[in-house]
Amino acid sequence: MSTSSQSARRSDEIRRRRMAGAHAAPKSAARSSSGLLDKMIRRSDTRRRVVSRPTMPPVVMRRDASIGASSGVNTRRRSSRRLYNVSLGSQGAEMRLPSLPRLGFSWRAISFLLLAGVAAVLYYLWTAPEFQVSAAQISGLKRVTKADVNRALALREAPVFTLDAKRIEQELLKDFSEFSAVEATIELPNTLLITVTERTPVMIWQQNDRSILVDEQGKTFQARDNAMLESLPVIKASGDPPRLPKEVSLAEETPLPTANLAEEISKDVVQEFIPTTLFQPEMIAAILKLAAQAPQGAQLIYEAAHGFGWQDQRGWIVYFGDLSDLDIKLNEYRAILEHIKASGGTPAMISVEFAHAPYFRLEE
């Protein structure tokens, strides 16, 4: 074989190898690129497992209500959970606790709960026995009994929160003319303290078959105990007492005795009794002095025409008028009585209503 033919066969073989290599090059390149990508992925996964980065707390973004309203985005909060990370002492070491739900309540629900709580408290305070008053603790009574006062109050297990001290004082002064002053005090949990000042009667005014008591200030009040009438001086009146000076009645804000006083005194119901100022304190003192100077067994009297006097048990009547200059009138009476007895007569009436003009009338 010649040298030229061997060269031609070698050239053809080289050409075939190049053509085969050109066809195989894309496949090998693809295989090499895919293998390189797999190595990179495995290397990144290995790096992730090896490198430990600290966990950052979640960031919660709160949208502004104005932004949501302007952009049309629904800004209603979704219920999220609050995360708690606890440090374990070493740097970068933390332990995450179980997350807690974030609860949300609307103002309507909160208002309803508050209303229900207040209603429950009010119901308990209204119905609890430890806050109910069944009877008042009363001090200062002399003639009126505690049962009378509690009956007038009519508490009936009333809640202590419903009591009004001022109203109680006014009602007791209205129901009991014997009281000159009333002071009510309310104390928790269920105490009502009442301190009263009773009027002290010094005389009895008897008119139209009815008796009323009069204190040293001239105030009238109802007689509840008939046994008391036996120990006080009694003035039997056949007419209304003299009118008080107008300035006195206005200063004390008390009604003047009128022509209807006999009707007021004759009322049988205690609650209908109208207390009034019957006399001034100076007149009360003069009446008591007259009662002390009257003879044993004499009946004190009052007549609208002749004023005050007494009915002597020996049969005659003595008039002293309005009790002004009482000491002078008493001396005149004693002198006239001695004169009549010295002359052997018996008086039927002696009048010293006017100290400068006394007179008398003898029995026929």
What does the alpha-carbon distance between residue 212 and residue 229 come to, in Å, rounded to a whole number?
Answer: 9
* pLDDT, position 267: 42
Q: Is the pLDDT of residue 32 over 90?
A: no
Over residues 306-320, the pLDDT tens digits come to: 999 999 999 999 999
Q: Is the pLDDT of residue 269 over 90?
A: no
Mean pLDDT across 135-145: 91
CB 347, CB 360: distance < 8 Å: yes
SS3 per-residue string spanning the chain: CCHHHHHHHHHHHHHHHHHHHHHHHHHHHHHHHHHHHHHHHHHHHHHHHHCCCCCCCCCCCCCCHHHHHHHCCCCCCCCCEECCEEECCCCCCEEECCCEECCCCCHHHHHHHHHHHHHHHHHHHHHCHHHEECCCEEECCCCCCHHHHHHHHCCCCEEHHHCCHHHHHHHHHHHCCCEEEEEEEEECCCEEEEEEEECCEEEEEEECCEEEEEECCCEEEECCCHHHHHCCCEEEECCCCCCCCHHHHHHHCCCCCCCCHHHHHCCCCHHHCCCCECCCHHHHHHHHHHHHHCCCCCEEEEECCCEEEEECCCCCEEEEECCCCHHHHHHHHHHHHHHHHHCCCCEEEEECCCCCCCEEEECC
Q: Could you give the percent of the chain with pLDDT greater than 90?
A: 40
Q: How confident is the model at residue 356 (pLDDT cuts 50, 70, 90)?
A: very high
* pLDDT, position 237: 94
* pLDDT, position 109: 82
Hey, what are 299's tokens?
A: 């009946």
User: Which pTM does this prediction carry?
Assistant: 0.60
CATH of domain 129-198: 3.10.20.310
Mean pLDDT across 126-154: 90
* pLDDT, position 127: 82
Q: Which of 97-106, 183-192, 228-237 is predicted with the least confidence, judged by mean pLDDT?
A: 97-106
Q: Is the pLDDT of residue 326 over 80?
A: yes
What does the alpha-carbon distance between residue 322 and residue 351 come to, in Å, rounded to a whole number?
Answer: 12
Domain boundaries, the chain: 129-198, 201-362
CB atoms within 10 A of CB 133: 20
Q: Is the pLDDT of residue 218 over 80?
A: yes
Over residues 61-119, the pLDDT tens digits come to: 554 444 444 444 454 555 555 666 767 666 767 766 666 666 666 888 888 888 988 98
Of 288, 160, 185, 309, whose CA–CA distance to 238 is shortest?
309
* pLDDT, position 261: 44
Mean pLDDT across 1-30: 65
* pLDDT, position 228: 66
Does the domain at residues 201-362 carry the CATH identifier 1.10.357?
A: no
Mean pLDDT across 275-297: 92
How far lies 20's CA from each of 12, 32, 85, 181, 302, in Å? 12, 18, 65, 134, 163
Identity of residue 86: V
